[in-house]
Amino acid sequence: MRIFKIIPIIALLIVATSVKVNGQCKAFAKKECLPELENYTHDGNYHAAVLVEGEEAELYKTFYSDMEYRVAIVGDEKLPVIEFRILDTNKNVLYSNKDKDFAKTWDFKLQASQQLKLVIKVSSFNQPGDTPSSGCVAIMFGFKLKK
């Protein structure tokens, strides 16, 4: 009969442990990415995921002409550098952090409101046969009213 008492405990432990693993990006985002926004107000949105070396992610967002923005993109220390590019709707590259020594943040403002696309790529330094590393990547936006 004891076995029937143990099975639910096992199930509970498995669930609790997996929730802990999934929840790691939230803690990472708050600890590592949020401080990068400095004096900008964080918009409160959460964009974070576990990415693997070489993997790409995209983000679409509207930015408004009344605001000044800072985007912060931070990856787990286990990952190689994170590249990011900002594109307009015509796929013109407006900014690439590759030109700024892979800076984690970019400050910008707009003359007219625009929908922009962010392309985030975890660069890759693994050799054939190596295990690609994985880790959290967080993207956060801060804003303040234009002066």
Q: Which of residues 14-33 bind another protein (CB under 8 A)?
A: 14, 17-26, 29-30
At a CB cut-off of 8 Å and minimum separation 6, what does 97 contact?
73, 82, 83, 84, 85, 103, 104, 106
Among 55, 81, 102, 104, binds another protein (CB under 8 A): 55
Residue from 35, 38, 49, 125 in contact with another protein (CB under 8 A): 49
Contact 120, 137 (CB under 8 A): yes
Residues 57-86 that bind another protein (CB under 8 A): 57-62, 64-68, 78
Q: Does 88 bind another protein (CB under 8 A)?
A: yes
Dihedrals φ, ψ of 131, to 5°? -85, 120
Give dist(CA 82, CA 127) in Å, integer.
Answer: 18
Instruction: Determine the size of the site formed for another protein (CB under 8 A).
Output: 74
Site for another protein in 112-141 (CB under 8 A): 112-115, 126, 128-132, 139, 141
91 sits near another protein (criterion: CB under 8 A): no
The sign of the CA dihedral 83, 88, 91, 93 is negative
